[in-house]
């Protein structure tokens, strides 16, 4: 019996299935009771939010520091050193040249998306809160907590402000999924 609860919890953590897969499996296959299943699925679905957000922060920081190193190496008074490296040991500069497109793409993302999004998000805090919750609450694949967290990060919404909105969306999605699953089970009986 404990394995079924653990499986429900872990299934709710998956990126595509989330609680939209965990709840129907727990109710229809494992025959578990609805309210505890709802809470276990919500708990399993909310845990990845923290890790996803922190991973995105780390990725952005890594790309940003790489961009700063590349730009300083290429542009800020190190021309002679750069030319010397290219002539003597071109393998040292190769990683920087292969990542240039990625780095410039990140710079463009930072300039355009973040700047525009922060203006909008700060001007419409309540609308942003409910929009993010509604997006997460839609019980379809690719609209859950994982995608909502990525969207919040891309829009520059701090985790402290995004978390309650994502939690509200997960709760609503869990209720909708539970009701639909119970209805489907009742119809099939």
DSSP string for 18-60: HHHHHHHIIIIIS---HHHHHHHHHHHHHHHHHHHHHHHHHHH
Q: What is the pLDDT of residues 13-46, one digit of tens each?
A: 999 889 999 999 999 999 999 999 999 999 999 9
Separation of alpha carbons 167 and 44, rounded Å: 12
Q: What is the pLDDT of residues 142-158, one digit of tens each?
A: 899 999 999 898 888 89
């Amino acid at each position: 019996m404990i394995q079924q609860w653990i499986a429900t919890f872990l299934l709710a953590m998956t990126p595509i299935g989330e609680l939209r897969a965990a709840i129907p499996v727990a109710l229809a296959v494992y025959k578990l009771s609805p309210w505890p299943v709802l809470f276990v699925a919500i708990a399993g679905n909310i845990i990845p939010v923290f890790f996803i957000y922190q991973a995105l922060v780390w990725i952005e920081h890594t790309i940003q520091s790489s961009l700063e190193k590349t730009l300083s190496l290429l542009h800020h008074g190190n021309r002679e050193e750069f030319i010397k490296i290219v002539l003597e040991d071109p393998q040292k500069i190769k990683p920087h040249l292969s990542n240039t497109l990625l780095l410039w793409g990140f710079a463009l993302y930072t300039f355009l998306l973040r700047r525009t999004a922060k203006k909008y998000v700060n001007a419409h805090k309540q609308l942003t809160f409910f929009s993010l919750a509604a997006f997460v609450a839609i019980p379809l694949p690719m609209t859950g907590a994982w995608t909502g967290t990525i969207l919040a990060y891309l829009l520059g919404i701090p985790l402290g402000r995004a978390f309650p909105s994502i939690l509200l969306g997960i709760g609503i999605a869990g209720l909708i999924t539970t009701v639909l699953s119970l209805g489907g089970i009742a119809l099939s009986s």
